[in-house]
Amino acid sequence: MSNQLSQTSVLFVCLGNICRSPLADGILTHLVNQRGLADQFHIDSCGTGAWHVGNPPDPRSVLVASKHGIDLTDLRARQFDADSDPSNFDLIIPMDAANHRDLIKQGTPKDKVRLMRSFDPTLTGKTPDVPDPYYGGDDGFDKVFEMLMRACEGMLDTI
């Protein structure tokens, strides 16, 4: 199901594809590039909703990524495609329980769907959701970045 025999394909999913999922996309892309594994991964992101299709990531996501040497400027929001995405990706990673439910309702095989923070080695007894920072203050984006960084590192160690 991977795009190439040796590739692992990962799709990050949030609600609008402008905050959390493009940030996760950028972080994992950055990490695989740092580790010399870029040719082993196909990474993308999308949203369950269509409100922001075609738009760049939220400026606050771009800013927090940039502070850590990660460039999100080439990313554009797209909506999850229930017809093709489940067959095109090995792992479909929702940011929260609501996105997880939406993916399953749309027919995504349960064995492909895993919550983002399930890869976070520091998560013990805490909520597994990556909170949506859209309506909060700028510090919410810093906290989300830290969560996503830990989870992406954990994901790479697991895969």
**In the chain, what are the domain boundaries?**
8-158
Q: Which of 14, 19, 46, 152 is catalytic?
A: 14
- The reported pLDDT for the residue numbered 40 is 95
Question: Judging by beta carbons within 10 Å of its beta carbon (0-12, 13-18, 19+), is residue 60 exposed, middle or buried?
Answer: buried
- The reported pLDDT for the residue numbered 9 is 97
Q: Which of 78, 102, 132, 152 is catalytic?
A: 132
Q: Which of 19, 20, 102, 117 is catalytic?
A: 20
Question: Judging by beta carbons within 10 Å of its beta carbon (0-12, 13-18, 19+), is residue 76 exposed, middle or buried?
Answer: middle
Q: Collapsing DSSP states into helix, strand and coil, what is residue 41? A: strand
Q: Is 19 a catalytic residue?
A: no
| Structural class in CATH, domain 8-158 | alpha beta
- The reported pLDDT for the residue numbered 1 is 45
Look up residue 39 and give its two tokens: 């040719």
Q: Is 138 a catalytic residue?
A: no
Predicted TM-score (pTM) of this structure: 0.94
Q: Is 46 a catalytic residue?
A: no
- The reported pLDDT for the residue numbered 127 is 74
- The reported pLDDT for the residue numbered 77 is 97
pLDDT (tens place) for every residue of the chain, 159 residues total: 444 447 999 999 999 999 999 999 999 999 999 999 999 999 999 999 999 999 999 999 999 999 999 999 999 999 999 999 999 999 999 999 999 999 999 999 999 999 999 999 998 777 789 999 998 877 899 999 999 999 999 999 998
